Amino acid sequence: MNPKAKIIMPIFTAQMQIDNEFSYNKCKYNASSRKALVLTELIIVIIIVALMAGLAGMNFPGIVRKRQFEQKAYELIDIIKKAQAASAEGGKRYALSLDFEEQSYTLKEFTQPYFEIIEDDEQTPIMLKGYFNEQCYLDYVVFDDGYDSRYPPEGEQTYVVHFFSGRSGWDFGGNIVLIDSDGYPYSIVLNRINRIVKLLPGEDYEVLQPVYKDDLPF
């Protein structure tokens, strides 16, 4: 063999071309898959957001009505608490009057010796006055002595009821029943034994009643 003879080795490129084509197609497939996946996720997110927005839109009027009811109810509770605090600290007496016909509530400082004449006491200035409305309607009051404004004694009609506050607390407790715009009842529970005033759903709440010493079990 001639030592100077050149040895020509064949070069095969077919396999390299196949591999390159395979890699290119694979990358192209992965890119398309990622785009399809992102698009699917985006559609799912849009659907979820649309459902949440639809539910919020359906509930929004109800949320607004509930907020309006609570605002009016807590205005009355705030007045009750202020009367309690002022009576306890200053020893003054206050009358909270609830008018079913006028759908209003008023607070007066009561200076007369007898609570019974307050309805005829037009000279006493009104300290605070507010009105109920369609979102918060005054329905009835049940006192802790059993008196129910819905069932007055025969021959009488109840247009106005009164709660009287003094240094020792309220002369009578009771449930002030309010109705929201959807017809559901709520109770402002007012106790003469303690100073806790609550707004509770429903209307069947037992008010704590004072007990005479002779009736105590201990």
Question: pLDDT per position in the chain (218 positions), as tens?
Answer: 545 444 555 554 444 444 555 455 555 555 566 666 677 778 888 888 877 766 655 666 778 888 999 999 999 999 999 888 888 888 888 889 999 999 999 998 877 655 555 555 556 678 889 999 999 999 999 998 889 999 988 888 888 999 988 888 888 899 999 999 999 999 999 888 777 888 999 988 877 665 554 554 54
54: helix, coil or strand? helix
Task: Confirm whether pTM is higher than 0.75.
Answer: no
Report d(CA 135, CA 100) in Å as an integer.
15
Report phi then psi at 107, rounded to 5: -125, 125
- How far is the first Cα of the chain from the last one, in angstroms, to the nearest whole number? 131
Residue 123: its pLDDT value, please?
61
The answer to whether the beta carbons of residues 194 and 168 sit under 8 Å apart is: no
Q: Count Cβ atoms within 10 A of the Cβ of residue 141 and give its class: 0-12 exposed, 13-18 middle, 19 or more buried.
A: buried
Tokens 């990358």 belong to which residue?
27
Residue 51: its pLDDT value, please?
77
Task: Let me know how long the chain is.
Answer: 218
Task: Tell which CATH architecture fits domain 62-209.
Answer: 3-Layer(bab) Sandwich (3.55)
Q: How far is CA 60 from the centre of its chain?
A: 13
Domain limits, the chain: 62-209
162: helix, coil or strand? strand
Up-side HSE of residue 2: CA atoms within 13 Å toward CB? 4
